[in-house]
Chain A
Amino acid sequence: MTSVTLPAIGVVLPELLLAVGSLALLLIGAVRGDRASGLVNALALVLLVLAGIAVAFQGPEKIVAFNGSFVLDGFARFWKLLALIGSAAAIAMSREFFVRERLDKFEFPVLVLLSTLGMLLMISADSLLILYVGLELQSLAIYVIAAFDRDNARSTEAGLKYFVLGALSSGMLLYGSSLVYGLTGSIVFSDIAAALAGGHGVLFIFGLVFIIAGLAFKISAVPFHMWTPDVYEGAPTPVTAFLAAAPKMAAMALIVRVLMGVFPAIVDQWQQIIVFVALASMALGSFAAIGQRSIKRLMAYSSIGHMGYALVGLAAGTPQGVEAVLIYTAIYLATTLGAFAGILALRNGNVYVDRIDDLAGLSRSQPALAFFFAMIFFSFAGIPPWAGFFGKLYVFGAAIEAGLYTLAIIGVLTSVVGAFYYLRVVKIIYFDEPKAPYEPMTPVLKLVLGASSVVVLLFWVLPAPLVGAAAVAAKSLF
């Protein structure tokens, strides 16, 4: 009989909070019906905040629990906070939208909570099994909420498309995992790394490629990006905000942990793959976004491009590169949430607008919103001194230190191309003839946009907290 001792509950306290909490909320919703959706929404927000506090108070040491399926270290804590922030902001922003669109069902916050639980599992995964289960929990809930507007053909198409392609990517991930397991005899990351250190065969690279393909799908990196624009456009806007923020954090954490933590012995093998994926994502993100008319499609291509920039840091394969990925993704999270708060504020009565041209003359009807919106797009474009510039500075700096000059130069060139369409949005906001005025922002949107703007606008004044936290987190991986 295998004896087992339950590790201290504190290790999995945030996950436990979300798991038990989401079950309780599901019961409340089942008993009280959709009348309780406001209450469930608020309680879900409270749960996410509590989980965030629990993460923040976990000790700095590295703990492996549950027979090597779960690892808690500084790296995991950093990403968990980012994922929780992304989910909390998406839930907070969703309420107003769903009430106006008559979609205020209590299942939405519950599914977001369960998806977030999956993200926390992914971030803390220490074996291929938990990696897969966490990934599937996260994705399955997102497939459902992408199709949440079930009477809308675009929304159901988005959900179905994401589901079919997601199932394909899960298949690839599992195929790669089974090859790796077959060749190393273990699903635990540390054992795989140890087996690898003693040499590896061709088949192992085969498995690695499939695992990278499965994970690249989740961060929508080229060439696994096809689903992104359609899903972003079809899904209800708060779901798009959620998609663009939280799951990217978890998938990026997983890629970095798997490549840097499990396969450091064959860095020369995966580096070229990541370099190619980063280059292709940056280029596609810049060029394909130029012709877009819908803001949500623009954000989709923008997120593809930004994931490419973040992967530049990973391609460096150094501790400094990992630190750059952490800083870049944290800034991306803040900027994206702010941008979506702005997009959700564009409302005439119950009609939410989606076209870039509808932003025309926003500066005259709502000067404050227009200003912060414009600053966020400046930051996306990487114009100093806003935060986005420093994010790019760190990733390109890491790439140059690692000798990847071509990658860094092409990255800078694509960001110049990208600046074109970001600046075009700013031009439309400030210089085009105004259309119908928009209604004032709700307090929640103001709060999210304000918090995002603080990060974006003031990062250059006080970069130490974020950079310091990223450095500590990156160090715990090595």
Chain B
Amino acid sequence: MAAAAFFYLFAGICIASAFMVIAGRNPVTSVLFLILAFFNAAGLFVLIGAEFLAMMLVVVYVGAVAVLFLFVVMMIDVDFAELKAGFLQYLPVGALVAIVFLIELVMVVGTLFADPASLQVAAGAVADAPAAGVTNTQAIGQVLYTQYLFAFQAAGFVLLVAMVGAIVLTLRHKPNVKRQDIAEQVARSHKTVIELKKVPSRQGV
């Protein structure tokens, strides 16, 4: 009972804050609502016993991604009000598409109520639950590098491509920038940097 109450609490706040993300006028409040949505999604994960995923969501998405968003939103000078200016213009077409989608979804859900068997999940769908006494962090660790080794490595290559791509598209070597070259600094000797001059008395340099 308590679990159900918490589910509706988390799910409700999650959807409401997701709505506020796209409805917010100020991009900074949008990002803050996004963080709230992440926190509530993490709460949902805790409810189904996936505490590792919940922690990852908070650490990675709230701790890194959302903060990065906030940085970018605050640093770049984008006039979001101007971006949304054409919104009303597209509203009729958008609303039409949305209504068609809504009708279709209602029809699909209607058939589900008429024929509950069509929602039947195939046997074995909820299999592979970790054995008793194994935390889900351990369970993920056990399959990540064994059963899903292939996908794991392939995902690593996707990240590599992202990195190479970012460098190819944005890195520019500027010619007139002075950079610290430690090797050059260390290699300096007294012969190259100190010049001894004999200054004759009473004559100056």
A residues near B (Cβ < 8 Å) are: 1-4, 19, 26, 65-67, 69-70, 105, 107, 110-111, 114-115, 117-118, 121, 127, 129-130, 133-134, 136-137, 140-141, 143-144, 147-148, 150, 159, 182-186, 195, 198, 200-203, 206
For window 106-133 of B, CB contacts with A under 8 Å fall at 108, 111-112, 115, 117-127
Known: A4-B149, A137-B161. A202 touches B121 (CB 8 A): no
Q: Interface residues of A: mostly helix, strand, loop or mixed?
A: helix
> Are B154 and A203 interface neighbours, CB within 8 A?
no
Can you add 18 more A-B contacts, CB < 8 Å, to A2-B142, A69-B151, A201-B117? A2-B146, A3-B146, A19-B153, A69-B148, A111-B165, A133-B158, A134-B154, A137-B158, A140-B162, A148-B168, A150-B168, A184-B125, A186-B122, A200-B118, A201-B115, A201-B118, A202-B111, A206-B108
Could you tell me the dominant secondary structure of chain B's interface residues?
helix
The 4 closest A-B pairs by CB, nearest first: A185-B125, A201-B118, A144-B165, A66-B150
Q: What interface size band does chain B fall in?
A: 35 or more
Chain B residues within 8 Å of A, Cβ to Cβ: 108, 111-112, 115, 117-127, 142-143, 146-151, 153-155, 157-158, 160-162, 164-165, 167-169
A144 neighbours in B (Cβ, 8 Å): 161, 164-165, 168-169
In the complex, which of the residues A67, A134, A143 contacts B165, with contact meaning CB atoms closer than 8 Å?
Answer: A143
Could you tell me the distance between the alpha carbons of A19 and B154 in the complex, rounded to whole angstroms? Answer: 9
Selected from B124, B149, B154, B161, the residue in CB contact (under 8 A) with A141 is: B161
A129 touches B151 (CB 8 A): yes
Give complex CA distance A110, B163 in Å.
Answer: 12
* B158 and A182 within 8 A (CB): no
Quick one: closest A residue to B157, CB to CB? A137
* Closest Cβ–Cβ distance, residue A147 to chain B (whole Å): 6
Would you call B126 and A185 a contact (CB within 8 A)? yes
| Most-contacted residue by chain A among B111, B117, B150 (CB, 10 A) | B150
Identify the closest chain B residue to A194 (Cβ): B122
29 contacts between A and B (CB under 8 A): A4-B147, A19-B157, A67-B147, A67-B148, A69-B148, A69-B151, A111-B164, A115-B161, A121-B154, A130-B150, A130-B151, A133-B154, A133-B158, A137-B154, A137-B158, A140-B158, A140-B161, A141-B161, A141-B165, A143-B165, A144-B168, A147-B169, A150-B169, A185-B123, A186-B124, A198-B122, A200-B118, A201-B115, A202-B112
A1 to B161, Cβ gap below 8 A? no
